[in-house]
Amino acid sequence: MTKAKAWFSAARLRTLPLSVSGIIVGAAIANKYGYTDWLLFWLAIFTTIGFQITSNFANDYGDGIKGTDNEDRIGPKRALQSGLLTRKELKSGIRFSVLLCLLLVVLVVYRAFGTENIVYPLVFIFLGIASIWAAIKYTVGKSAYGYRGFGDVFVFIFFGLLSVLGSMFIFTKFLTVYAVLPAISIGLLSTGVLNLNNLRDYESDKKSKKNTLVVILGYTRGKKYHYLLLSISFICMLLYTIFNYLHLKNMLVLLGFIPIFLHLIKVRNIKKPILLDPELKKIALSTFLVAILFYIAFNKFL
Buried residues in 44-65 as b, exposed as e (16+ CB within 10 A): bbbbbbbbbbbbbbbbbbbbbe
Q: Determine the 3-state secondary structure of 27 from DSSP.
A: helix
Model pLDDT, residue 238:
98
Q: How far apart are CA 187 and CA 22, in angstroms?
A: 8
pLDDT for res 83 = 67
Contact 113, 121 (CB under 8 A): yes
Q: How many CB atoms lie within 10 A of CB 5?
A: 11
Q: Report the C-alpha gap between 195 and 180 in whole angstroms.
A: 22
> What pLDDT is attached to residue 74?
58
| DSSP of 44-75 | HHHHHHHHHHHHHHHHHHHHHHHT-SSTT--S
Which amino acid does the sequence have at 290? V
Could you list the beta-strand ranges (E) of the chain: none
pLDDT digits (tens, 9 = 90+) for 204-225: 888 878 889 999 999 999 999 9
Q: How many CB atoms lie within 10 A of CB 269?
A: 8
Domain ranges of the chain: 16-298
The DSSP 8-state label assigned to residue 218 in this structure reads -
- 204, 84, 277, 263: CA torsion to nearest 10: 130
Q: What is the pTM of this model?
A: 0.92
Decide: 51 and 135 in contact? Cβ < 8 Å: yes
Distance from C-alpha of 128 to C-alpha of 107, rounded to nearest angstrom: 11
pLDDT of residue 140: 82
Q: How many CB atoms lie within 10 A of CB 191?
A: 25
The single-letter code of the amino acid at 124 is F
DSSP string, 80-104: HHHTSS-HHHHHHHHHHHHHHHHHH
Instruction: Measure the CA–CA gap between 239 and 261, rounded to whole angstroms.
Output: 17
Dihedral sign from CA coordinates of 78, 81, 84, 87: positive
**Quick one: pLDDT at residue 258?**
97
> From the CB of residue 263, how many other CB atoms can be counted at a distance below 10 Å?
20
In the chain, which stretches have pLDDT less than 70?
A: 1, 66-83
* pLDDT at site 117: 81
Cα–Cα distance, 123 to 119 (Å, whole number): 6
225 Cα distance to chain centroid: 18
Residues 34, 35, 41, 47, Cα dihedral to 10°: -130
Q: Which among 213, 273, 265, 216 has a CA at the least distance from the CA of 73?
A: 273
